[in-house]
Amino acid sequence: MATIKDSVHDHIEVTGPPEALLDTPAVQRLRRIRQLGTAQYVYPSANHTRFEHSLGVYHLASRAAKRLDLPERDAVHVEAAALLHDVGHGPFSHNIEALTHRRTGKYHDDVEELIASGQVGEVLRDNDLEPDRIARLIRGEGQYGQLVSGELDVDRMDYLVRDAHHTGVPYGTIDHERLIRELTFVDGELVLDEGNVQTAESLLLARALMNPTVYKHHVARISKAMLRRASERLLDADSGAAADVDAERLRRMDDHDLIVALRSTPETEAFSRRFDERRLLKRSVWAEWTDVPGWILDADHREIRRIERGIADAADVEPTDVIVDVPPEPSITESSSRVLVSGEMRRLDEQSPLVSALRTAQKGQWRLGVYTRRKLTDRVGRIAADEMDIDADGGLVTDIRTNVYHTLDEFEL
């Protein structure tokens, strides 16, 4: 049995097949992938990795399996899935996932091949575990998949608390111990036991506050957008370190690889210097949902790139100096989490008036961003608003101040 000291859950015991999985290259690689990608540009102490997060998720899965009294064989599959649930992540976690998905058709939880092959596959076979079943659990399929990836999964229980601990933002500090204790299965559905409407709401609210403050802080969004565009140029470059980087290889890099590849490829070198020195682009448009015409919301990646080029041409600036960032419509997945009320299983959004309010609130927080160099914000902003028919006040961009969700007077912005 391995006992590992963790800053969030204190001592974590890893035993059985998961202990052997810990030693595999695929899991050890997670030590070199930051949990929150570029969020450390906003919260400098947020340098925690997918490795410790995976340990934490394993720990909570193991405790949940015990409390729910899962059969031995089911429990060990759930635990293995918890430990492995993030091995499919590329460098900087979600930051460049849109790109790798576009090029490979795979998301980070498409891990069938990864866990069936290599040392992970060996360990699983040696222990008579089924890679396919684990892959399905990771995608949230089946009754027990809800524990690993679902509205009440142990993944988010860990990351909320861990991100709060490492950023210093207290909003994520949920009562994860209580959540674990109240889980139960009813008719094959994972639900919170009687008297836990509040408990379910607390999970929802913690995410609702961490979202704009941490995960979607505009500096995190800008740096992420910059990194994604640079990685795209890396894939399309045919010189320097990138010469043999394709999307599959990119997906399997760690943070070290990607950063150094960007540095040593001529097409991305200038970017990487900006990135290393935190000279980030600035917002020139920051438009609310209601200001944005439908055709932009519907635009796909190719269309967005076309718009960017149009703006760059009209403003007479370098194409790399304009990024248009259109987030998808916000959703609240916890809304369908289930609680027992008077012995009856109910969806949280049927039970709690907060859910629909949060849905509205999230749409209110949605922003389309156009980013450019500091000196060009005014020029690019006017042109971009015009090009995209954004209904901006006085022909200008939306007042940026209204959307600074965290008052950190950032030193660079």
Question: Is 265 a residue that touches a copy of itself (CB under 8 A)?
Answer: no
* Residue in 113, 132, 236, 276 binding a copy of itself, rule: CB under 8 A: 276
Element (H, E) at 218: helix 218-236
Q: Which is nearer to a copy of itself, 83 or 312 (CB)?
A: 83
Q: Which is nearer to a copy of itself, 314 or 361 (CB)?
A: 361
Q: What is the distance between the alpha carbons of residues 203 and 192, in angstroms, rounded to a whole number? A: 12
Residue with tokens 């000279």: 279
Q: How far is the CB of 341 from a copy of itself (least distance, A)?
A: 5
Q: Which of 407, 406, 28, 375 is nearest to 216 (CA)?
A: 406
Question: Is 59 a residue that touches a copy of itself (CB under 8 A)?
Answer: no
* Residue in 113, 132, 193, 389 binding a copy of itself, rule: CB under 8 A: 193
Q: Which is nearer to a copy of itself, 20 or 70 (CB)?
A: 20
Q: Is 318 helix (H, G, I), strand (E, B) or coil?
A: coil
CB 392 within 8 A of CB 285: yes
Q: How far is the CB of 57 from a copy of itself (least distance, A)?
A: 13
Count residues binding a copy of itself (CB under 8 A). 93
Q: How far is the CB of 369 from a copy of itself (least distance, A)?
A: 15
Q: What is the distance between the alpha carbons of residues 335 and 22, in angstroms, rounded to a whole number? A: 34
Sequence-distant (6+) residues with CB within 8 A of 137 are 77, 78, 81, 144, 145, 147, 148, 149
Question: Is 291 a residue that touches a copy of itself (CB under 8 A)?
Answer: no
For a copy of itself, the binding residues in 322-361 under the rule CB under 8 A are 341-343, 352-354, 356-358, 360-361
Name the phi and psi angles at 11, rounded to 5: -90, 125
* Residue in 74, 257, 267, 269 binding a copy of itself, rule: CB under 8 A: 257
For a copy of itself, the binding residues in 4-33 under the rule CB under 8 A are 4-8, 10-11, 14, 19, 22-25, 28-29, 31-32
Give CA torsion, residues 297, 302, 303, 306, to 10 deg: 140
Q: What is the distance between the alpha carbons of residues 368 and 390, in angstroms, rounded to a whole number? A: 10
Stretch that binds a copy of itself, among 198-206, 222-230, 298-306, 325-333 (CB under 8 A): 198-206
* Residue in 63, 165, 252, 347 binding a copy of itself, rule: CB under 8 A: 165
Which pair of structure tokens corresponds to residue 190?
């994972």
Stretch that binds a copy of itself, among 110-118, 219-227, 254-262, 301-309 (CB under 8 A): 254-262
